[in-house]
């Protein structure tokens, strides 16, 4: 068996939901899109269900799979894109976002009394949602239809940056537009939960905070550890190169270790040396990452053996800072881990 795994600490997952609950009185909708940010939607949903009021996903398939496990509301965050999918939405009692005229115009005249529709306003992110000038007309169209509930929502573009004035502008616009309607409202994502209490309204939608990818300063804990076992040790001489294109050359005689993980497993590509940990000691990689292999310079440390674990990131790693070394973000690190990396769930 290939000894490479992503460890997932379920206690830390629960801790993060408890931290989020302590920061708001609003309902919590857990965003578990992209297979729960790579941690497996089935495992994660089961652990966090008691801490939340609803779930959010991207695709119809995600929603239908999740419906087998829960009776709680499930929101399709980008709504329906194929007319026939409205029937699935109706049959399985799914929530759905309406953010475009196409979705409105192609919505069948049917009874959606078991569904909640979420009307999205573009308050400045300029991605999905109706322009503020269009809002009331679209709102009226939806209120004339039969839904279980109609919820009004938007999305903050810079919520992790507390000093960004755009947050205040978006919150004010959303507040002003919706102040005279009695529908439930939803604006806050992970960053806004911690940084902008006035954005919480009725439903908050945390994502990355659940998975420990950001906001450690607020009590959020990292949830994952990525590690791989040494499968190869090789002595090389000073002046020998290692790996593709010979970009790394040994300055002195040393021992090279190999671990069976690479960019084919979703680890970010690198050609310059990166730090890893083995048995609590720090070492540097040697040469370019391969599709299936990373090589490490052990220098003259003969205490390291085949079968020892190499930690690429750990339960004490700040993934936000770590990801910057690869010109990436914590979201990408988590969601890119491929299916051939085993997942090991720890209580």
In our burial notation (b when 16+ CB lie closer than 10 A, e otherwise), range 263-293 reads bebbbbeeeeebebbbeeeebebbbbbbebb
**From CA 24, how far away is CA 17, in angstroms rounded?**
11
Q: Are 297 and 243 in contact (CB under 8 A)?
A: no
Determine whether 244 is an active site residue. Answer: yes
The residue from 33, 120, 185, 288 that is catalytic is 33
Tokens of 243: 């790996």
DSSP state of 262: -
**From CA 221, how far away is CA 202, in angstroms rounded?**
25
The residue from 148, 244, 281, 324 that is catalytic is 244
**From CA 143, how far away is CA 138, in angstroms rounded?**
9
**From CA 316, how far away is CA 298, in angstroms rounded?**
23
Determine whether 33 is an active site residue. Answer: yes
By the 10 Å C-beta count (0-12 exposed, 13-18 middle, 19+ buried), 300 is classed as exposed
**From CA 116, how far away is CA 184, in angstroms rounded?**
11
**From CA 335, how far away is CA 341, in angstroms rounded?**
12
The answer for 318, left when phi > 0, alpha when psi is -120 to 50, beta otherwise, is beta
Active site residues: 33, 244
């Amino acid at each position: 068996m290939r000894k490479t795994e992503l460890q997932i600490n379920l206690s830390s997952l629960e801790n993060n939901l408890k931290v989020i609950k302590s920061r708001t009185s609003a309902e919590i909708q857990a965003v578990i899109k992209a297979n729960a940010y790579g941690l497996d939607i089935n495992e994660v949903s089961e652990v966090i269900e008691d801490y939340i009021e609803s779930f959010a996903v991207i695709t119809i398939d995600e929603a239908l799979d999740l419906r087998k496990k829960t009776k709680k509301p499930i929101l399709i965050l980008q709504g329906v894109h194929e007319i026939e999918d409205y029937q699935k939405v109706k049959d399985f009692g799914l929530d759905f976002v309406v953010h475009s005229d196409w979705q409105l115009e192609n919505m069948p005249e049917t009874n959606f009394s078991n569904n909640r529709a979420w009307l999205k306003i573009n308050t400045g992110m300029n991605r999905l949602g109706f322009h503020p000038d269009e809002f009331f007309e679209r709102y009226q169209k939806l209120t004339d239809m039969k839904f279980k509930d109609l919820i009004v929502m938007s999305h903050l573009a810079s919520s992790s940056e507390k000093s960004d004035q755009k947050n205040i502008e978006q919150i004010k616009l959303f507040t002003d537009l919706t102040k005279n309607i009695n529908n439930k409202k939803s604006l806050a994502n992970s960053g806004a939960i911690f940084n902008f209490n006035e954005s919480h309204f009725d439903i908050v939608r945390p994502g990355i905070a659940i998975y420990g990818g950001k906001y450690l300063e607020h009590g959020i804990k990292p949830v994952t550890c990525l590690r791989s076992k040494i499968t190869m040790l090789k002595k090389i001489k000073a002046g020998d190169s290692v790996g593709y294109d010979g970009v790394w050359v040994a300055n002195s005689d040393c021992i090279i270790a190999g671990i069976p993980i690479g960019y084919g497993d979703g680890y970010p590509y690198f050609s310059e040396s990166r730090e890893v940990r083995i048995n609590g000691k720090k070492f540097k990689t040697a040469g370019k990452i391969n599709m299936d292999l990373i090589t490490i310079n052990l220098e003259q440390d003969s205490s390291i053996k085949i079968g020892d674990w190499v930690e690429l990131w750990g339960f004490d790693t700040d993934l936000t800072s770590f990801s910057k070394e690869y010109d990436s973000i914590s979201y990408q690190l988590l969601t890119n881990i491929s299916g051939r990396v085993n997942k090991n769930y720890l209580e």
